[in-house]
Amino acid sequence: MTAGERGHPGLEMSLEPDPFAAALEAPRSGPNVVAVGGGTGLAQALGAIGRYAGTIHAIVTVADDGGSSGRLAPGLDIPPPGDIRQCLIALTPDDSVWRRLFEYRFAGSDVEGHSLGNLVIAALADLEGSFEDALKRAERILGAIGSVVPAAGERLHLEAVVDGVAVSGQVAITKARGHISELTVSPREAEATPRAIDALLAAEQIVLGPGSLYTSIVAALVVPEIVEAINGSDAKLVYVCNLITQDGETLGMDAADHLDALLSLTGVRPPNAIVANAIPVEIAPPLSAVIVDEDAIETYGVDVVAADLVDPAAAWPRHDPARLGGVLGRLV
């Protein structure tokens, strides 16, 4: 069914400015890179990858149940759009009215807390007839230099075992503050999107992290078929370690602990390399810098690539896109 048949004549023309279409069609040189995860961590990775990659796919978790996404997704029966929106913005190199609209968040009335970008994605899903087609349309509207692909075609629910106790829901898991020994998604019969599988199998480099270890990275990897595609790919696999620990998920964990959890909970093959920060990071307790014990990590057969990765202009410790991009580009 076309947009006009839905009672929206002229949608095709009005939502696709010619300058953005031209930018999308311009060839980009560089490797085929796929990043997997969610949240602000994946957006940071895309900011780095966009500096050296020719083809970019972001495979995003669809189990977020907090904030604007948590309010929209159940009622509209769509995957949560929040993490996806962040990735779309990260892949949009040029400022525009559309980019500012996707970033805009309401501060009052009955739409308080909602991101306008989330609402636009939800509306496009209805107009285009599917969530994936909505994202393709959003990429063209924004002039994105890559594609954002949901890990699964439906909204998923995270379930974990924390200190032997079952915990349900992404937000609840982030607040649990305990050892996570199991993490799964429901419904169990969910399947990865074909575009996600195709992107992983064709990749030259697959980047995991940075970001919330359990509720972003592992949450994407435990979607059925995702790990199988990564393990069957010839791509170089890279894990970007977080700069600091995360309250509720990784307090007290060093880089080797992060790696062990990643491998044991998902079955993903050991990465070819871990990219880790090499300079001191100051943060107030109970958080701490993620300590990198190279000898412990090398027991997994994984190389450690340490570099100055901290963004000096950031108020909160985060990766500098140019520095991280330089390291990742050399590892392809």
SS3 20: helix
pLDDT band at residue 70, thresholds of 50, 70 and 90?
A: low
pLDDT in tens, 169-204: 999 999 998 999 999 999 999 999 999 999 999 999
Q: CA triplet 34, 184, 164: central angle to 5 degrees?
A: 135
Say what the pLDDT of residue 151 is.
97
pLDDT at 5 over 60: no
**Beta strands 55-60; 147-150: pairing state:** parallel
pLDDT at 7 over 50: no
Residue recorded with tokens 């998902």: 266
**Which position has the higher pLDDT, 167 or 78?**
167
Q: How many residues are there in the chain? A: 332
SS3 253: coil
Lowest mean pLDDT among 7-21, 63-77, 114-128: 7-21
Lowest mean pLDDT among 39-43, 56-60, 71-75, 81-85: 71-75
pLDDT band at residue 112, thresholds of 50, 70 and 90?
A: low
**Stretch 6-23: mean pLDDT, rounded?**
38
**Stretch 229-245: mean pLDDT, rounded?**
98
pLDDT in tens, 73-94: 777 888 999 999 999 999 998 8
Say what the pLDDT of residue 76 is.
84
CATH number of 28-330: 3.40.50.10680
Say what the pLDDT of residue 8 is.
40
- Alpha carbon 125 to chain centroid distance? 20
pLDDT band at residue 14, thresholds of 50, 70 and 90?
A: very low
pLDDT at 130 over 70: yes
**Stretch 304-332: mean pLDDT, rounded?**
96
Say what the pLDDT of residue 27 is.
56
Please state, in angstroms and rounded to a whole number, the distance separating the CA atoms of residues 286 and 213. Answer: 17
Q: What is the mean pLDDT of the chain?
A: 90
